[in-house]
């Protein structure tokens, strides 16, 4: 089984890195002589590991699991799991459930893992922070993880911002999505609408108006800019308005470019501007608030 030195990727983010270096939750494992070794990896029997009851994600794409299983069969587990020692030779997953499930499908009897001692609240916090760093989560899953960190780990938005290395504006924008009707939240989860659509719907007025506009988005395949114009026009309740293409101004962004700008801003958790000249040339401007914020953005762009 290949471990490739099995170092944790820096992409896990500042929040999880801070937790992993906390003296109260030091990583420990055993070498061949049975001695504790900090920051090393142990091979643990799959049968001795149980799933993490705090994992916010409980649905896994079967096709993606099969692809990961094939990769593990060919290359082994590149990134070790992180587990909590439970006593009597048993362990509980803190992070890496997809890898664990794929390992079971691949028929592995042992998996590499960092071993940690952590109380339940620390474990929940670590699982949620790890979860938020994933790139395949939809906006509602991220928002629910933010909400659980705030409520169950007693964090302020400012503390949460520091732990997950996201701006307070990004956290607030995600949390506002949880105020939308369940039907619209499911639309985001099922990829019927984007986070940009959902953000625009938050300002659409009553729940009935939000659902009416949501149905119009799905039926007419409206862009985010279309929805923003529709919401700002505030039609009478129960009436739909026709979306007409506005005349293009010199240097104005197309709908595709506008959507890209919003998507890029959400990905970087920072304000992004696209400035175009009449001849088609221009520049993309990414705003940052401090040296550490710049370092965070550079790290995201290098992924």
97 given a catalytic annotation: yes
Q: Which of 143, 128, 247, 264 is nearest to 196 (CA)?
A: 264
Q: Are 255 and 221 in contact (CB under 8 A)?
A: no
Per residue in 71-99, pLDDT (tens digit) is 888 888 877 888 888 878 889 888 788 88
By percentage, how much of the chain surpasses pLDDT 70?
74
How high is the pLDDT of residue 245? 42
Does pLDDT of 261 surpass 50? yes
How high is the pLDDT of residue 128? 78
Taking residue 109's Cβ as centre, other Cβ atoms within 10 Å add up to 10
| CA 28/CA 32 separation, integer angstroms | 14
How high is the pLDDT of residue 182? 86
Exactly one of 33, 62, 67, 97 is catalytic; name it: 97
> Which residue ranges form the domains of the chain, and what is each CATH number?
4-118 (3.90.1530.30), 191-244 (no CATH), 255-301 (no CATH)
How high is the pLDDT of residue 48? 94
Q: Are 87 and 55 in contact (CB under 8 A)?
A: no
Answer left, alpha or beta for residue 24, where phi above 0 means left and psi between -120 and 50 means alpha.
alpha
State the burial class of residue 160 (Cβ atoms within 10 Å of its Cβ: 0-12, 13-18, 19+).
buried
Mean pLDDT of 260-273: 75
Q: What is the mean pLDDT of the chain?
A: 75
The three-state secondary structure class of 31 is coil
What residue ranges in the chain does DSSP mark as E strands? 27-30, 36-38, 42-45, 49-50, 81-87, 90-95, 110-116, 272-276, 282-286
| pLDDT band at residue 265 under the 50/70/90 scheme | confident
How high is the pLDDT of residue 194? 92
| pLDDT band at residue 254 under the 50/70/90 scheme | low
| pLDDT band at residue 253 under the 50/70/90 scheme | low
How high is the pLDDT of residue 11? 34
- Residue of higher predicted confidence among 197 and 147: 197
Q: Are 134 and 60 in contact (CB under 8 A)?
A: no
| CA 55/CA 160 separation, integer angstroms | 18
Predicted TM-score (pTM) of this structure: 0.47
- Residue of higher predicted confidence among 132 and 57: 132
How high is the pLDDT of residue 232? 80
């Amino acid at each position: 089984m290949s471990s490739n030195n099995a170092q944790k990727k820096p992409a896990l983010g500042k929040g999880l890195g801070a937790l992993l270096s906390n003296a109260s939750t030091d990583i420990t494992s055993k070498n061949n002589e049975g001695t504790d070794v900090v920051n090393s990896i142990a091979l643990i029997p799959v049968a001795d590991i149980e799933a993490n009851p705090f994992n916010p994600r409980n649905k896994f794409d079967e096709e993606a699991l099969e692809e990961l299983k094939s990769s593990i069969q060919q290359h082994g587990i590149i990134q070790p799991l992180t587990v909590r020692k439970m006593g009597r030779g048993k362990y509980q997953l803190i992070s890496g459930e997809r890898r664990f499930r794929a390992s079971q499908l691949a028929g592995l009897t042992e998996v590499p893992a960092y071993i940690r001692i952590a109380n339940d609240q620390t474990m929940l916090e670590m699982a949620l922070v790890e979860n938020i760093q994933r790139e395949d989560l939809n906006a509602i899953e991220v928002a629910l993880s933010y909400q659980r960190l705030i409520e169950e780990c007693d964090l302020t938005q400012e503390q949460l911002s520091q732990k997950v290395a996201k701006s307070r504006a990004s956290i607030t924008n995600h949390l506002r999505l949880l105020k939308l009707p369940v039907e619209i939240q499911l639309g985001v989860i099922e990829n019927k609408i984007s986070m940009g659509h959902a953000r625009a719907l938050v300002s659409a007025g009553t729940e009935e108006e939000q659902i009416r506009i949501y149905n119009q988005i799905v039926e007419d395949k409206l862009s985010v800019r279309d929805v923003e114009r529709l919401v700002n026009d505030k039609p009478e309740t129960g009436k739909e308005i026709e979306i007409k293409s506005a005349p293009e101004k010199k240097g104005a962004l197309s709908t595709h470019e506008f959507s890209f700008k919003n998507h890029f801003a959400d990905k970087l958790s920072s304000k992004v501007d696209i400035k175009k000249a009449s001849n088609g040339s221009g520049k993309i401007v990414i705003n940052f608030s401090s040296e550490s914020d710049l370092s965070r953005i550079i790290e995201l762009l290098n992924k």
